[in-house]
């Protein structure tokens, strides 16, 4: 785990810090790559976090969200103490047993779901997992399967 200080900056509406080149080099070696999003973890002002290091506009940035730093959009210009290291743990796999059952019962929907991009699959699963009631889940499962079969819109999107 490497430690550095950085000024909290803003790009658009997103607070971020730039990671020093020597620390980036360490993360790249640990990750075994220097392209694409890289999962990292550490602390911001002694508060633990897990985040993804991304390259935007030619520079690697660590975006600082509200869970990492309270009121981060209001703290632009503040100097933060950050520890950063590669997170070798596999990303969590989202599952929704009711959705898996519905896909098993509808092979055509399963085929369409499997052809969706991983980010679109993740979005759909995250929506279903975060529903609070069984009625809401049942309604949304029906909508999701209909969406995959091309019958209706779901999550503000037309059928794939």
Q: Using CA atoms, how far apart are residues 53 and 73, in angstroms rounded to an integer?
A: 18
110-39-28 Cα angle (round to 5):
125
Query: Can you give the pLDDT at residue 62?
Result: 94
48-96 pLDDT, tens digit per residue, is 999 999 998 889 999 998 888 888 888 899 999 999 999 988 777 778 8
pLDDT tens by residue, 94-144: 788 999 999 999 999 999 999 998 888 989 999 999 888 999 999 999 999
| Residues ≥6 apart with Cβ < 8 Å to 142 | none
pLDDT at 21: 94
Domains of the chain, first to last: 2-86 (2.40.30.100), 97-148 (no CATH)
Contact yes or no for 131/154 (Cβ under 8 A): no
Residue 18: closest CA among 86, 89, 91, 84: 84
Q: What pTM did the predictor assign? A: 0.63
Confidence band of 153 (pLDDT split at 50, 70, 90): confident
How many CA atoms lie within 13 Å of 148's alpha carbon, on the beta-carbon side? 23
């Amino acid at each position: 785990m490497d430690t550095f200080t950085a000024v909290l900056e803003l790009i658009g509406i997103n607070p971020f810090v730039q990671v020093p080149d020597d620390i980036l080099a360490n993360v790249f070696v640990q990750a075994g790559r220097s392209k694409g999003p890289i999962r990292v973890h550490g602390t911001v002002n002694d508060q633990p976090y897990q985040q993804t290091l991304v390259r935007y506009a030619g520079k690697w940035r660590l975006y600082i969200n509200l869970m990492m730093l309270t009121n981060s959009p209001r703290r632009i210009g503040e100097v933060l103490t950050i520890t950063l290291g590669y997170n070798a743990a596999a990303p969590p796999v989202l599952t929704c047993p009711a959705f898996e059952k519905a896909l098993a019962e509808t092979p055509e929907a399963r085929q369409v779901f499997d052809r969706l991009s991983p980010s679109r699959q993740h979005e759909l699963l995250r929506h279903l997992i975060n529903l609070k009631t069984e009625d809401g889940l049942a309604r949304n499962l029906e909508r999701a399967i209909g969406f995959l079969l091309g019958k209706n819109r779901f999550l503000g999107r037309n059928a794939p």
